Structure 1
Amino acid sequence: MTLFEIIILAIIQGLTEFLPISSSAHLILPSAVLGWHNQGLAYDVAVHVGSLLAVMIYFRNDISRLTVAWFKHGLSKQQSTDSKLAWWVVLASIPAIIIGFLLKDFIEVYGRSALVIATTTIVFGLLLWYADRKATLAKNITQITWKNALFIGIAQAIAVIPGTSRSGITMTAGLMLGLDRESAARFSFLLSIPVILGAGLLATVDLLQSPDPVQWLELLLGAAFSFVCAYACIYLFLAWISRIGMLPFVIYRLILGSLLLLYVFF
């Protein structure tokens, strides 16, 4: 890849991983629409590592608190609020890990077309708009139950289809359950940690089995730019989401999906 492609793809990954607009769709589009060379497995791993580091550093206090609470109360009858939340993150991660593992090859073959991305971008964008409009915003993250967590986790599993947006579908599910916007976003971001980690480990295994040479400078640059953009994105999104709502992202998804449909059919 050229330096320009390395930087642009890393910025795309960093910005779109946590916004409800689908990072997988945006990473596929440059090769599908602009004719760029596929960035390759190693680069995908690198930019996901950058995003993972960003979310883990941003939520380092939450991760530490939940981890300590789980070891202290997680296996006891007297669960604390934090130990319960730690369990709900684990529970909600299971469906996506299972479905992602089972359907990985199928999605690679049949799910990465511009038509699929256009369709899911529009459909799940409209669903996000509906959920945000009808949301009661009555519950915070500490009021999530195991049933809520499982529902969000099943929704997250749908995001194996490119264009759906993992963060978008989990926030949609959270809003449908009555969570306020910031709580829906925070739980979505916490859920991203095991999912990105799992996807990264699977990709790393594939990478180790690949005979292709590794361009380490490309990987370091990609990870660095992805980290910076992802961290800024998380910070700004949580600061603004309660005020701006989901409508700007819905409008963006509808425009993007419509342009993709024009590209496919015309």
Structure 2
Amino acid sequence: MNEYWDLIVAILAGVVQGIVEWLPVSSQGNLSLFLILMDISPDHALQLALFLQLGTTLSATLYYRDEILESLEAVPQWRPQSAFTGPNAVTSFVVVACFATGLIGLPIYFLAVDIASELSGGLFIAAIGVLLVLTGVLELASKSVDLAEREDPTFRDAVIVGGFQGLSILPGISRSGVTTSVLLFRSYQAPSAFRLSFLLSIPTGIGAGALIFVTEGGIPGVSLEMAALAVLTSAVVGYATIGILMRIVERIPFWIVCFGLGGLAIVGGGGVTLLVA
């Protein structure tokens, strides 16, 4: 019975990741909530949610394959003086932003895992709720920005966006929501902001999966087979839904969703804590 239950959890976790990764509502936060409800400890839920980004990273790679190939073909012509112009601009943006993400995100990750291991499931859920609400506040604020016609990303854009992306290692802070909102604050049009955000997600997702595997010597909380099944499921579901959900994102104010999910998590997590106490 346990084997069948693990199989169901792995598939459902992959489905959740494959859908919510493309929505600015924190895939890591919502997947962590799901895994905690499936009786996985908060620290293992946090680590597994990070690892499953590998599946949607594969989806994004396939979806943006033409742009990735174009950027790779321009690499031999890369020069420092033209790093942030023309075909090299996106490649330079991604590389610099990833370094900034690592500098900010790595210490936050180790701190978050330590804190999660000490928190009860209810308190951890409530904490995710608070961060979801903060994500909603940022998304709402970005709607009031006057958008200009920005073309190539700059070095400053890369550092700022990468730094904020490092904060999204905390469950409840949406990586796509934060990076897209920051790009909107930097006067990018929404389509360009979404495109840069999801291109940036590819090396970030690979790095997150590698971080978990290297630091933990495996996949915490589940067997390697179940983790592989969850990653495969998230890749298939993610590729099938990315186009549809990207169009939805451009039409729906997802700060409302963040407020709603965050409020439910705060109330629900607080209720669980009181019951346990």
TM-score computed with the length of structure 1 as normaliser: 0.86
Deviates further, 6-15 or 104-113: 104-113
Q: 8 Å contact 1:136–1:179 — kept in the other structure?
A: no
Q: CA deviation at 1:85?
A: 1.9
Higher mean Cα deviation, 166-175 or 9-18? 9-18
Q: Distance in 2 between matches of 1:180 and 1:226?
A: 29
Distance 2:166 2:107 in 1: 11
Measured after TM superposition, the shift of residue 100 of structure 1 is 2.2
Task: Report the equivalent of 2:274.
Answer: none
* Residues 14, 47 of structure 1: 8 Å contact kept: no
Distance 1:41 1:145, change over 3 A: closer
Give me the whole-angstrom Cα distance separating, in 1, the residues matched to 2:248 and 2:268. Answer: 33
Equivalent residues of 2:132, 2:262 under 8 A apart: yes
Change (3 A) 1:77 1:229: same
Aligned-residue offset at 1:103: 2.6
Deviates more, 1:38-47 or 1:163-172: 38-47
Q: Which residue of 2 aligns with 1:138?
A: 148
Q: Give the equivalent residue in structure 2 for 1:49.
A: 54
1:115 aligns with 2:107: no
Distance 1:251 1:143, change over 3 A: same
1:78-117 to 2 correspondences below 5 Å: 78=82, 80-110=85-115, 113-117=124-128
Q: Distance in 2 between matches of 1:45 and 1:163?
A: 12
What is the CA-CA distance between 1:7 and the residue it aligns to? 1.6
Question: Is 1:37 matched up with 2:40?
Answer: yes
> What SS is found at the alignment partner of 2:73?
helix
> Which one of 5, 11, 16 corresponds to residue 7 of structure 1?
11
2:203 aligned with 1:198, yes or no?
A: no
Give, in angstroms, the shift of residue 210 of structure 1.
7.6
Q: Which amino acid aligns with 1:37?
A: I
* Secondary structure of 1:97's aligned partner: helix
TM alignment of 1:223-234, pairs within 5 A: 223-234=231-242
- What is the distance in 1 between the residues matched to 2:106 and 2:51? 20
Verify the 8 A CA contact 2:98 2:162 in the aligned structure 1: yes
**What's the TM-score once normalised by structure 2's chain length?**
0.83
What percent identity do the matched residue pairs reach? Answer: 26
Residue 265 of structure 1: CA displacement? 2.9
Task: Indicate the residue corresponding to 1:19 in structure 2.
Answer: 23
Gaps of 5+ in 1: none
Q: Which amino acid aligns with 2:247?
A: A
The answer for the alignment partner of 2:173 in structure 1 is 164
Count, aligned residues: 258
Question: 2:45, 2:221 within 8 Å by CA — same for their partners in 1?
Answer: no
User: Aligned-pair RMSD on alpha carbons?
Assistant: 2.6
- Partners of 2:19 and 2:237 within 8 A in 1: yes
CA contact (8 A) 2:46 2:171 kept: no
**2:227 is the counterpart of 1:219:** yes
Q: Give 1:146 shift.
A: 1.6
